Structures are given as C-alpha cells and as structure tokens.
C-alpha cells in the first residue's frame, strides 16, 4: 500500500453537493406523484366507533381513502416486532392503520390519496371519526401503578421485566454488598423524554411499474434493505421485484432505523393499487406525535462503597417509559442496563428494569440509545460518592477503572445481541489523564476562586463512558475496477450525513493504491447491494469499512495475479501506486489497473484505448477469447462480508466548565473538552465532526429538550417554537483529543464513533452545575427555572 489515505483528515467529498443545494432528498423526488396525507388520532386513548368519509368524497382531486378495513392480508396485521426477547412477555406493535383502538395522539387512522398534498389535507379535514374516549395512562410511575391499562391484555402495563445480577468475586449478591458496605447512598434519577428530531422528517415515494410488475421505492430511511424486505412480505411481492433506495437523508439519529413504518408499507401498496406514483412527506407536527421518542427513564439507585470510593455493590431499578408500542422490543432499557457500568469494575451489580406502556408515542432508539441514561446514573453515582467521602471526583473514578492490562474484560452481563458483554481493548487511566490536562482540572480550584472573587459562579464536571459499537450480524462491500481505471464501491447500509462517501473511498483508495478521485461510493441502494442491515449502533465504519477492505483485498489479489502474467513477474514483487501496477524497484515495468481491468474480461472489443493497450499485454488480438479459468470470474471485481464475533467497545471522557447566573439562574457552558477513543481513526476530521454533532445534541438533552405531556396525553410542545433545541449560539467550542487503542476484533482495528458525543453530556453538565451551585442535580434537562426552584430548596 503506497497511497496512504487511511487516517488522513481529508475534507468530506459529499459536502460540496450537500451544502450547495445539490443534495437530492426525498421531497425533491416525485414532483408529479399523487400525494398522501393521514388522519391521525387526536386522542391518547380511544375506541374508534365510526369513520364517516362521505363529506371528503366531494373534494375535487381526491383519488382514494383507506381505513384499516381496506387493508388486505398481511398488510392488515400488526407491524413486526423486530427484536423479540424472552423478557418481553407482552410485546405489542400497531397495525399500519388503527384497528378499533388508538393508543396515542398521532396514531394513523385513515390514509387519503389526492392529486396534491393540499387536496389530500382538505379531504382529511372533512373525515369524521367518532371516538369513545378511554382513560389515558401518562407518566411512567403513574402507568406502573396500573390504575388504567394501555393494552387491555397487558397486566400492570408491564411489557417486559428483566433482572441481571453479577455477584461479587466472593459470591455475595449486590444487595448484600450494598447493605454491608462501609458507606451507602440511595437516590432517584430522572431523565426526561426527548427525540432525535432530524431536520428532514421521514418520507416515502413509491412508483409501480405495471409492465414489469415491480416497485421502486425511495425512503428517507436508515435501512433500505429492511424496508425492502418488509414491503415484499407485506405486499406479497418477490424480493427482486422491489427496489428500495435511500436518497440523500437529512439526518436520522435513530428514528429512521430498520422498523418498517406504517407509511413505508402503505405508500407502496397504494402506488401498486392505483397503478402509479404516490408520495408522502412527514410534516414537523407528525414527526413530534407520530414517529418516536426516547430517553424517558426513572432510575432508583442504591450503592455501597469503601473509604477509597471503590464501589462494592450497585443496585439499580429502572422504570422505562416505552410509549404505546414496542417495535424494537426492549433494546433501549437493555442497553442502559448492560452499558451502565462504563469503564468501571464494580464489586457486585444488580439491575432490574420494567418496560412500561403509556399512552404516548412509541419509544425507539435515539442516538446513544439508552446509554445517556445509563451514564447519567453511573456518573452521578461517582460524583455522589466523591462528595460523600470528600474526595476528588477524578480520584473516585480512577479507583474503579478497569486497567489496560485487564482486557479482554468480561462484565459478566449479557449484551443486547444476546452474547456476553466483553470489552475488547481500551486505556481508561490514560484517557482520564489526557482529559484532566486538556480541561486544566488540577488548576480549576484557583480559577473558581478567582471567579468567585469577581462575583461569578463557575463549576467543573466530568463524565466517562464505554460504548458497544459495530454490532453484527454482518455488512458487505462490493468493489469493481472498470476499464477507465475507476473504482466503484458499494455497500448496502445507508448514509444520513456521517461522511461515508469519504471514509469508504479512503479505505478503498488505501487498499487498492489508487487516487481517491478515482473512487466512487454508493450506499443504501438495493439495486447495487441487496443484503445489508443498516446504519445504527455506530456500526458503519466497523462493519462496512472492514467489508470494503476485505473486498478490496480480493480485487487487489486478482489484479496482481493478472498483472503478474502480463509483466511476467512474481505477484509478490508487485506494488500498486497511483492506479498503476509495477514491479517493486522497477517503475518502468508497469501496467495500469485500467488495463488489468480489461484483461480480466476475455470478452474484449477494441472499444477504447485501454482495450487496445490490453491486447499488447495479452499478446493476442481482441478477438482471441481464452476461456475463463476454473474457479475464476470475469471482471475485476469482488465482494466480501464482515461479520464480527462480538461488538467492539469505544470509550470517551468529557469535561465541562459552566457558569451559572446568580440572579437569572441561566446556565452557560464556558468550555467543553472531549477525549475520545474509537480505535484506529479512518478520518480524524470526520470523527471530530461526529463528536461535535453528538455533543450539540447532548447539550440539548442536558439543558433544553423535553417532551411535555398533559394528563390527557396531549403533547404540549409539538413544534420548534416550544420544543427548545440548542443553536450554534448555545453550543460551545469543543476541544477534542484522540486516543487510539486499536480493536483486536477486526482487520482495520476500528471502533465506532457516531453516537459517542451525545452519551455523557447530561452527566457532565449536571456534574458541573452541581459543582458550581452545591445542589444535587438529579434530573435532566435542567432549565434556569428548574435551577431556580432547586436553589429555593437549599
Ligand atoms: N469513523 C472514522 N474512524 C473511526 C470510526 C468512525 O473515521 N474509527 C467515521 C466513519 O467512517 C463515519 C463516522 O465516523 O464516517 C461515523 O462512524 P460510525 O461510528 O461507524 O457510525 P455510523 O456511520 O454507523 O453512523 C451511525 C451513527 C448513529 S448510530 C447515529 S444515531 C447518528 C450518527 O451516526 N446519526 C447521524 N451520526 C450522525 N450524523 C449525521 N450527520 N446524521 C445522523 O443522522
């Protein structure tokens, strides 16, 4: 490998297109398609008595109106429950259109198709649905009391209940260890509901080809392959007759993962039924009330520790608010409960969670997926131990760290993929040392004193986490070199702004020894790559990155074999530089990869210069067509898959300095520092961008974002006027340092980075506010009025 691009901070190749308005998003497509709109439930819990569409039938331009009764066969069934789990004894999913009962505001009840969206919305407004209002269940603790039920057949509103227990080395249970420890603390932590809020909402555009009896579907999705499988299954079409393409996607952050959304099966169905094109683009209110939320957990903690702050026993009980349905099973609380321990080795651990139904929109994974709640729990615990013992907060963490010679480290828990949770590599003491230096931890007391002398209140805080990334089961890569010397890379997972066009090209260019300008990358298009899982769980770099590298290695080997015949040299003596294969040390004995690509195909016509040149090397006319050797395939292309034995664990540590206003209780982040370890970096600039974006989202979760429901299950702040998100003005400059402990689990030594930034932010900001104010901060987000109220209790 002579063209080194892996590890270089090169600029994102996709940005010129995306920031100059040349991106092609879902709503840029299908200008002539019929438009769909939905009548959605205005009630949190109600029985549908009657649907009267008669007034809507007079709308000029109306094409069709569908209710649940119109849905045929499998389409009328509840949508699939994607990740079953033995603890999920009462998993529930919704039908694409509501059947009899609605269980949250925003649940789709009627689909209308019309000539354009305005007419479709007009028709929606004329449809009368008679409801019998049922008692709504709102608030997870209220739901757990089970005075009323969300699903009549789910006792106690409990969808799942799980206990995992890891005893101490001497066989004591966590509860015993807590009770017998020299010091014990008990407290309750509350993390509010929030949501991923991509700037582009969801959307689907489907085209039925009556001649070919096939569907082409565009969806703003994080997994085109699973949307394709769902459409084929629900519509009874053979898989090859369905193509799904993810165009440019304006953010996903989890909400567009693999679950087939109702609209993703209804719109293609309507397109086939109507024999044409149908499109639906989600509006912002729909996104608030009909897509999905996350976070939303109440956590009760009991901890026992010794005089040095070492945790001897930790007992955590989690109430997880699942909303009305569980399409992903218990993935979020299981991630919280198994990743909560972070970089620490704890004497004995017991975690119990109950997944509780409420009459609110369903909960599905949002960037970080349960980890921000877990880290909030663990890091608040560390700070409380430090405060109780009068120790420095970094000392308590250091006392509990897994050491770098203890890997692989088995936490004794079962991870979300059903396999043992084993950390592969890391260096937590070094990460903390780097963080303390970056933020100036040791000199902060003088800074604080100086600020106090000027009447300013400042505080410093930190938070540490470990994140399982790169989950399986597999991802693939396909690489083809064409006779113009260009390299075409495709992988089935999709992109929502992570920079995949750049990093995958960096990997291919490095592996094949070609200039990056020659490499093009396609993602999320089932025409190019049919088998794939999707982009979530910070898995693209690990999964597709390694698959592409493996595919490139196959192609490289083939190229060297063909070139060695042409150059009459041993393949082991060959190198590829700038797209030319040459004998090491003898650059004149060379053959361009473009020519090798022509030679790889016995069917050669002298269409171009490269083909003519190839005949010189082949020593025969272009009409001479030797047979393809046994075991070989024509063409210079290769495909490979990567399937890990288990996840690889990234780590990070963040610190912040905040100022709190003595009068207004306004909270300002003065500095924010990150030390991050995602193994070998493919592109440090992209990783920093990912971390910065994640921290910005984390600042939202720490200070602003919160879904406010009233007792009727109405979401009171379902617009960007009322749901606060941080702007550039609220996000501080983020100082970042990288630590690279390669993963021993995959050929490229990489770990994921896409979610990292968001994970500890609430814990870090809480730690800093607590330091500034001297008041325990046990809930997130915290607004100036919350802080003011807390001050009054002091
Ligand atoms: N990378 C790298 N070196 C590493 C690890 C990662 O250069 N050692 C690069 C990757 O090549 C990729 C980026 O960093 O370009 C993120 O990589 P990875 O951690 O594999 O995460 P994914 O690509 O799988 O992205 C998913 C992740 C998740 S789970 C959410 S949620 C999220 C996120 O990425 N949603 C995003 N980042 C997002 N960024 C944008 N702009 N939009 C979203 O919706």
- Do the Cβ atoms of 637 and 411 come closer than 8 Å? no
**Residue at token pair 């094409």:** 63
Same domain (yes/no): 495, 562: yes
Q: Is the CB of 579 under 6 A from ligand 1?
A: no
User: Does residue 435 lie in a domain region?
Assistant: yes
What residue's CA is closest to ligand 1, atom 16? 754
- Do the Cβ atoms of 150 and 359 come closer than 8 Å? yes
- Do the Cβ atoms of 321 and 160 come closer than 8 Å? no
For residue 254, the ligand 1 atom closest to its alpha carbon is 31
| 663-672 pLDDT, tens digit each | 999 999 999 9
For residue 251, the ligand 1 atom closest to its alpha carbon is 44
Q: Is the CB of 499 under 6 A from ligand 1?
A: yes
Same domain (yes/no): 463, 488: no
CATH of residue 112's domain is 3.90.1170.50
- Name the DSSP letter for residue 628: P
List C-alpha distances in Å: 448 to 249, 251, 442, 791. Answer: 44, 39, 11, 19
User: Does residue 10 lie in a domain region?
Assistant: no
Q: How far apart are the first and last CA of the chain?
A: 64
Q: Average of pLDDT values for 516-531?
A: 96
For residue 252, the ligand 1 atom closest to its alpha carbon is 44
State the distance from the centre of ligand 1 to the C-alpha of 753, rounded, in angstroms.
6
| 346-359 pLDDT, tens digit each | 999 999 999 999 99
Show the tokens assigned to 139: 């608030």
- Do the Cβ atoms of 602 and 627 come closer than 8 Å? yes
- Do the Cβ atoms of 254 and 294 come closer than 8 Å? yes
The SS3 assignment for 372 reads helix
Mutation test residue for ligand 1: of 493, 499, 500, 541, the one with most atoms within 8 Å of CB: 541
Q: Is the CB of 693 under 6 A from ligand 1?
A: yes
State the distance from the centre of ligand 1 to the C-alpha of 790, rounded, in angstroms.
37
Sheet containing strand 158-166, edge to edge, reads 158-166, 349-357, 311-323, 294-305, 183-194, 779-780
Rounded distance, CA 614 to CA 592, Å?
10
Same domain (yes/no): 422, 534: no
Domain boundary among 623, 642, 661: 642
Q: Is the CB of 367 under 6 A from ligand 1?
A: yes
Domain holding 105, by residue range, is 33-134+202-281
Task: Give the model's pLDDT for residue 381.
Answer: 98
Checking if the pLDDT of 615 tops 80, the result is no
Mutation test residue for ligand 1: of 250, 498, 684, the one with most atoms within 8 Å of CB: 498
Domain boundary among 258, 281, 304: 281
Same domain (yes/no): 441, 305: yes
More confident position, 114 or 566: 114
Q: How far does CA 785 lie from the centroid of its chain? A: 32
Q: What percent of the chain has pLDDT over 70?
A: 98
Task: Give the model's pLDDT for residue 419.
Answer: 84
Rounded distance, CA 584 to CA 588, Å?
10
| 619-640 pLDDT, tens digit each | 655 556 677 777 788 999 999 9
List C-alpha distances in Å: 515 to 3, 272, 483, 507, 518. Answer: 7, 44, 15, 11, 6
Q: Is the CB of 682 under 6 A from ligand 1?
A: yes
Q: How confident is the model at residue 2 (pLDDT cuts 50, 70, 90)?
A: very low
Least confident of 67-76, 253-262, 312-321, 433-442: 253-262
User: Does residue 286 lie in a domain region?
Assistant: no
Task: Give the model's pLDDT for residue 619.
Answer: 62
Mutation test residue for ligand 1: of 467, 690, 736, the one with most atoms within 8 Å of CB: 690
Task: Give the model's pLDDT for residue 1.
Answer: 41
Same domain (yes/no): 417, 498: no
- Do the Cβ atoms of 364 and 190 come closer than 8 Å? no
| 751-787 pLDDT, tens digit each | 999 999 999 999 999 999 999 999 999 999 999 999 9
Same domain (yes/no): 373, 517: no
Rounded distance, CA 569 to CA 563, Å?
8
What residue's CA is closest to ligand 1, atom 10? 541
**Mode of pairing for the β-strands spanning 349-357 and 214-219:** unpaired
Same domain (yes/no): 255, 370: no
Q: Is the CB of 678 under 6 A from ligand 1?
A: yes
User: Does residue 6 lie in a domain region?
Assistant: no
Task: Give the model's pLDDT for residue 707.
Answer: 97
State the distance from the centre of ligand 1 to the C-alpha of 543, rounded, in angstroms.
12
Domain boundary among 596, 612, 642: 642
User: Does residue 16 lie in a domain region?
Assistant: no
Stretch (H or E) spanning 318: strand 311-323
State the distance from the centre of ligand 1 to the C-alpha of 686, rounded, in angstroms.
9
Same domain (yes/no): 466, 477: no
Same domain (yes/no): 562, 486: yes
Rounded distance, CA 448 to CA 256, Å?
44
For residue 539, the ligand 1 atom closest to its alpha carbon is 24
Q: Is the CB of 365 under 6 A from ligand 1?
A: no
State the distance from the centre of ligand 1 to the C-alpha of 538, rounded, in angstroms.
6
| 13-42 pLDDT, tens digit each | 999 999 999 999 999 999 999 999 999 999
In this structure, how many other beta carbons lie within 10 angstroms of the beta carbon of residue 505?
Answer: 23
Least confident of 2-6, 53-57, 249-253, 329-333: 2-6
Task: Give the model's pLDDT for residue 627.
Answer: 74
Q: Average of pLDDT values for 89-108?
A: 97
State the distance from the centre of ligand 1 to the C-alpha of 498, rounded, in angstroms.
5
Rounded distance, CA 709 to CA 716, Å?
6
What residue's CA is closest to ligand 1, atom 17? 754
State the distance from the centre of ligand 1 to the C-alpha of 695, rounded, in angstroms.
13
List C-alpha distances in Å: 573 to 454, 515, 570. Answer: 70, 21, 5
Same domain (yes/no): 476, 460: no
State the distance from the centre of ligand 1 to the C-alpha of 523, rounded, in angstroms.
14
User: Does residue 144 lie in a domain region?
Assistant: no
- Do the Cβ atoms of 355 and 330 come closer than 8 Å? yes
Mutation test residue for ligand 1: of 752, 756, 758, 759, the one with most atoms within 8 Å of CB: 752
Q: Is the CB of 686 under 6 A from ligand 1?
A: yes
Calculate ∠ Cα 221-226-231, nearest 5°. 95
The SS3 assignment for 316 reads strand
What residue's CA is closest to ligand 1, atom 38? 498
| 647-704 pLDDT, tens digit each | 999 999 999 999 999 999 999 999 999 999 999 999 999 999 999 999 999 999 999 9
For every residue of 476-545, DSSP letters joined together read: EEEEEE-TTS-EEEEESS--SSS-HHHHHHHHHHHHHT--GGGEEEEESBTTT------S-TT-HHHHHH
In this structure, how many other beta carbons lie within 10 angstroms of the beta carbon of residue 352?
Answer: 16
**Mode of pairing for the β-strands spanning 128-133 and 101-102:** unpaired
Task: Give the model's pLDDT for residue 621.
Answer: 55
For residue 502, the ligand 1 atom closest to its alpha carbon is 15
- Max distance between CA atoms of the chain, in angstroms, equals 91
Q: How confident is the model at residue 339 (pLDDT cuts 50, 70, 90)?
A: very high
Calculate ∠ Cα 264-269-275, nearest 5°. 130
Q: Is the CB of 687 under 6 A from ligand 1?
A: yes
Q: Is the CB of 426 under 6 A from ligand 1?
A: no
For residue 687, the ligand 1 atom closest to its alpha carbon is 14
Q: Average of pLDDT values for 296-302?
A: 96
User: Does residue 152 lie in a domain region?
Assistant: no
- Do the Cβ atoms of 481 and 596 come closer than 8 Å? yes
Same domain (yes/no): 226, 365: no
CATH of residue 532's domain is 3.30.365.10
Task: Give the model's pLDDT for residue 676.
Answer: 97
User: Does residue 637 lie in a domain region?
Assistant: yes
Q: Is the CB of 294 under 6 A from ligand 1?
A: no
Same domain (yes/no): 485, 601: yes
- Do the Cβ atoms of 381 and 304 come closer than 8 Å? no
Radius of gyration of the chain (CA): 28
Q: How many domains would you assign to the chain?
A: 3
């Amino acid at each position: 490998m002579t063209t080194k691009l892996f590890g270089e901070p090169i600029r994102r190749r996709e940005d010129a297109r995306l920031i100059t308005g040349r991106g092609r998003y879902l709503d840029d497509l299908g200008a002539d398609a019929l438009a769909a709109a939905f009548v959605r439930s205005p009630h949190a819990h109600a029985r549908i008595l009657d649907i009267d569409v008669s007034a809507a039938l007079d709308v000029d331009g109306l094409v069709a109106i569908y209710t649940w009764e119109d849905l045929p066969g499998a389409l009328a069934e509840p949508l699939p429950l994607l990740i079953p789990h033995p603890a999920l004894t009462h998993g529930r999913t919704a039908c694409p259109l509501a059947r009899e009962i609605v269980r949250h505001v925003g649940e789709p009840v009627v689909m209308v198709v019309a000539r354009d969206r305005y007419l479709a919305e007009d028709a929606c407004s004329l449809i009368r649905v008679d409801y019998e209002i049922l008692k709504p269940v709102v608030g997870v603790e209220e739901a757990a009391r089970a005075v009323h039920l969300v699903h009549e057949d789910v006792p106690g509103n409990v969808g799942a209940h799980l206990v995992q227990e890891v005893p101490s080395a001497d066989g004591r249970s966590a509860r015993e260890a807590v009770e017998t420890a020299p010091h014990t603390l008990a407290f309750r932590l509350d993390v509010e509901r929030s949501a991923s809020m991509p700037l582009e909402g969801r959307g689907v555009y489907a085209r039925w080809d009556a001649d070919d009896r096939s569907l082409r579907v565009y969806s703003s999705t994080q997994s085109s392959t699973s949307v394709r499988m769902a459409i084929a299954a629900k519509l009874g079409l053979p898989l090859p007759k369905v193509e799904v393409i993810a165009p440019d996607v304006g953010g996903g952050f989890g909400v567009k993962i693999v679950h087939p959304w109702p609209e993703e099966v209804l719109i293609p169905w309507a397109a086939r039924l109507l024999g044409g094109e149908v499109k639906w683009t989600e509006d912002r209110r729909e996104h608030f009330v009909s897509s999905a939320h996350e976070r939303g957990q109440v956590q009760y903690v009991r901890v026992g520790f010794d005089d040095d702050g070492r945790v001897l026993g930790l007992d955590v009980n989690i109430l997880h608010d699942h909303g009305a349905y569980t399409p992903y099973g218990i993935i979020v609380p299981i991630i919280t409960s198994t990743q909560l321990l972070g970089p620490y080795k704890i004497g004995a651990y017991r975690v119990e969670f109950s997944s509780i139904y409420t009459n609110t929109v369903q909960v599905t994974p949002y960037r970080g997926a349960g980890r921000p709640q877990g880290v909030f729990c663990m890091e608040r615990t560390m700070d409380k131990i430090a405060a109780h013992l009068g120790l420095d907060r970094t000392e308590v963490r250091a006392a509990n760290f897994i050491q770098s010679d203890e890997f692989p480290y088995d936490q004794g828990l079962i991870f979300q993929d059903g396999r043992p949770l084993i950390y592969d590599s890391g260096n937590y003491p070094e990460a903390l040392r780097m963080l303390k230096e970056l933020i100036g931890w040791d000199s902060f007391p003088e800074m604080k004193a100086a600020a106090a002398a000027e009447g300013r209140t400042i505080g410093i805080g930190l938070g540490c986490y470990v994140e399982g990334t790169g989950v399986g089961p597999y991802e693939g890569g396909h690489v083809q070199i064409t006779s113009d010397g260009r390299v075409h890379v495709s992988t089935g997972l999709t992109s929502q702004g992570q920079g995949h066009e750049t990093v995958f090209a960096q990997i291919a260019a490095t592996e094949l020894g070609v200039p990056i300008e020659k490499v093009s990358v396609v993602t999320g298009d089932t025409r190019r790559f049919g088998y794939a899982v999707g982009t979530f769980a910070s898995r693209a770099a690990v999964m597709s990155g390694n698959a592409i590298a493996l595919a490139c290695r196959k192609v490289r080997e083939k190229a060297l074999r063909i070139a060695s015949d042409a150059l009459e040299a041993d393949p082991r003596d060959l190198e590829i530089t700038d797209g030319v294969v040459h004998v090491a040390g003898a650059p004149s004995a060379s053959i361009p990869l473009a020519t090798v690509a022509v030679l790889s195909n016995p069917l050669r016509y002298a269409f171009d210069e490269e083909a003519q040149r190839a005949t010189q090397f082949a020593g025969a006319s272009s009409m001479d067509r030797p047979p393809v050797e046994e075991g070989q395939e024509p063409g210079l292309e290769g495909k490979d898959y990567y399937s890990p034995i288990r996840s690889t664990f990234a780590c990070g540590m963040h610190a912040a300095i905040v100022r709190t206003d003595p009068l207004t209780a306004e909270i300002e982040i003065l500095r924010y520092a990150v030390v991050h370890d995602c193994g070998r970096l493919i592109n440090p600039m992209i990783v920093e961008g990912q971390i910065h974006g994640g921290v910005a989202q984390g600042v939202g979760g720490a200070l602003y974002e919160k879904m406010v429901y009233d007792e009727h299950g109405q979401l009171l702040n379902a617009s960007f006027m009322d749901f606060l998100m941080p702007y550039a003005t609220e996000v501080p400059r983020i100082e970042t340092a990288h630590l690279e402990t390669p993963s021993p689990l995959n050929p490229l030594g990489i770990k994921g980075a896409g979610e990292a930034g968001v994970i500890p932010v609430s814990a870090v900001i809480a730690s800093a506010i607590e330091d500034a104010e001297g008041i325990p901060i046990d809930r997130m987000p915290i607004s100036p009025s919350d802080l003011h109220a807390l001050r009054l209790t002091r």
